């Protein structure tokens, strides 16, 4: 049966647990020669530029035995006026899944409605669920559990924060978000998450959020496409930097996460980013393994 992955809520708690277990097994190299998607072709339709998402998907698809096909709207007829439904229907006849990295989340929803193969959200302005899978894998790898972990997210309530809200509600983590007023995660995401089992707290003081945290997470203050708000947002987020002083409020064995790219000296200092508590580059690597497990689940299962 076709199954899309547009938000973390498209998977159950049990499916996430199984996916993370599989991702850790893949990382261990236990069956490195297994190619469950041999003969398949996966489309990568990217409206937004990328480093980690593109490379991790292309490498992961290759390692699973499938063939990645990188596309941009300007290289296909979508950029010349062909409708999203027509594009989705046509690509479904050639491909076994489509990963889309775009601006508006509505495009993903419309594309998936007309696609007969799995559609994966590689990033939208509203959600970044593949990043959240890598995040969960890193926390599980470093802490040995997710249930009861205290995660502090310091910064803008953007697409990454929205997906972390869903991650907390599905895994039983306690999530505290410190952000200026007006920069909270999407209300519809918060409302749904709070009806689940995770604890979600919104406050203004970064030190309060970091207190007793097992994990401290941040992201850039100015997301791609928001460059015209750069100076205004930087001013709003003064005091929300992850630095050694803020880190001292957390547990001694707390780990630091950042989805990258980082603006060193803005939302995080180099001292913390390169310090012994940083798991940031393990986190970046884990995108590869988590996405491989996701592709295996969706594409092999769809077949």
Q: What is the pLDDT of residues 108-155, one digit of tens each?
A: 999 999 999 999 999 999 999 999 999 999 999 999 999 999 999 999
Q: Which pTM does this prediction carry?
A: 0.96
As a whole number of Å, the end-to-end CA separation of the chain is 8
Which one of 52, 105, 128, 183 is the catalytic residue? 128
φ and ψ at residue 88, rounded to 5 degrees: -60, -45
Long-range contacts of 69-78 (CB under 8 A, 24+ apart): 69/41, 69/42, 69/43, 69/44, 69/95, 70/44, 70/46, 71/43, 71/44, 71/45, 71/46, 72/45, 72/46, 72/47, 73/45, 73/47, 76/45
Which one of 130, 135, 259, 283 is the catalytic residue? 259
258 contacts: CB under 8 Å, gap ≥ 6: 217, 218, 219, 242, 267, 268, 273, 280, 283
Q: Is 101 a catalytic residue?
A: yes
Q: Specify the 3-state DSSP secondary structure of 41.
A: strand
Give the per-residue pLDDT at 291. Answer: 98
Give the per-residue pLDDT at 237. Answer: 96
264 contacts: CB under 8 Å, gap ≥ 6: 270, 273
The alpha carbon of residue 64 and the mean position of all alpha carbons in its chain are separated, in whole angstroms, by 21
Give the per-residue pLDDT at 225. Answer: 67
Q: Are 152 and 216 in contact (CB under 8 A)?
A: yes
Q: Specify the 3-state DSSP secondary structure of 97.
A: strand
Q: Is 289 a catalytic residue?
A: no
Q: What is the pLDDT of residues 231-255, one digit of tens each?
A: 888 999 999 999 999 999 999 999 9
Q: Is 130 a catalytic residue?
A: no
Which one of 54, 101, 127, 258 is the catalytic residue? 101
Q: Is 131 a catalytic residue?
A: yes
Which one of 96, 127, 131, 214 is the catalytic residue? 131
Q: What is the CATH number that goes with domain 8-128+287-302? A: 3.40.50.1370
Assigned CATH class of 131-283? alpha beta
Per the listing, tokens 């502090």 go with 152
Write down the mean pLDDT value for the chain.
Answer: 95
CA neighbor of 262 nearest in space, from 226, 217, 232: 217
Residues of the chain predicted below pLDDT 50: 1
DSSP 33: T
Give the per-residue pLDDT at 198. Answer: 67
Domains 8-128+287-302 and 131-283 share a fold: yes
Give the per-residue pLDDT at 2. Answer: 65
In the chain, where are the structural domains located? 8-128+287-302, 131-283
Give the per-residue pLDDT at 223. Answer: 76
Q: Is 249 a catalytic residue?
A: no
Which one of 125, 135, 214, 219 is the catalytic residue? 219
Q: Specify the 3-state DSSP secondary structure of 269.
A: coil
CA distances from 235 to 231, 242, 267 (A): 6, 15, 12
Q: Which helix (H) or strand (E) holds 209?
A: helix 206-210
CA neighbor of 140 nearest in space, from 293, 260, 301: 293
Q: Is 302 a catalytic residue?
A: no
Which one of 4, 52, 258, 287 is the catalytic residue? 287
Give the per-residue pLDDT at 196. Answer: 73
């Amino acid at each position: 049966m076709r199954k899309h992955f547009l938000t973390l809520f498209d998977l159950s708690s049990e499916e996430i647990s199984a996916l993370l277990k599989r991702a850790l097994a893949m990382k261990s190299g236990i069956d490195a020669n297994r190619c469950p998607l041999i003969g398949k072709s996966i489309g990568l339709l990217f409206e937004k530029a990328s480093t980690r998402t593109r490379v991790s998907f292309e490498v992961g698809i290759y390692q699973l035995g499938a063939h990645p096909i990188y596309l941009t709207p300007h290289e296909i007829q979508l950029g010349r006026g062909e409708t999203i439904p027509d594009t989705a229907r046509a690509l479904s006849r050639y491909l076994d899944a489509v990963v889309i990295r775009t601006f508006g989340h509505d495009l993903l929803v419309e594309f998936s409605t007309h696609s007969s193969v799995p559609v994966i959200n590689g990033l939208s302005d509203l959600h970044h669920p593949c990043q959240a899978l890598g995040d969960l894998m890193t926390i599980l790898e470093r802490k040995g559990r997710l249930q009861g972990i205290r995660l502090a997210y310091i910064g803008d309530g953007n697409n990454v924060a929205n997906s972390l809200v869903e991650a907390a509600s599905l895994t039983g983590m306690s999530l505290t978000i410190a952000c200026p007023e007006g920069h909270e995660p999407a209300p519809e995401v918060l409302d749904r998450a709070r009806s689940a089992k995770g604890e979600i707290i919104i406050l203004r003081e970064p030190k309060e959020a970091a207190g007793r945290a097992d994990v401290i997470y941040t992201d850039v203050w100015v997301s791609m496409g928001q460059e015209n708000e750069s100076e205004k947002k930087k001013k709003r987020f003064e005091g929300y930097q992850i630095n050694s002083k803020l880190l001292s409020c957390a547990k001694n064995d707390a780990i630091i996460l950042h989805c990258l790219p980082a603006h060193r000296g803005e939302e995080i200092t180099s001292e913390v980013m390169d310090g012994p508590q940083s798991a940031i580059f393990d986190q970046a690597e884990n995108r590869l393994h988590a996405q491989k497990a996701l592709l295996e689940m969706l594409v092999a299962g769809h077949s």
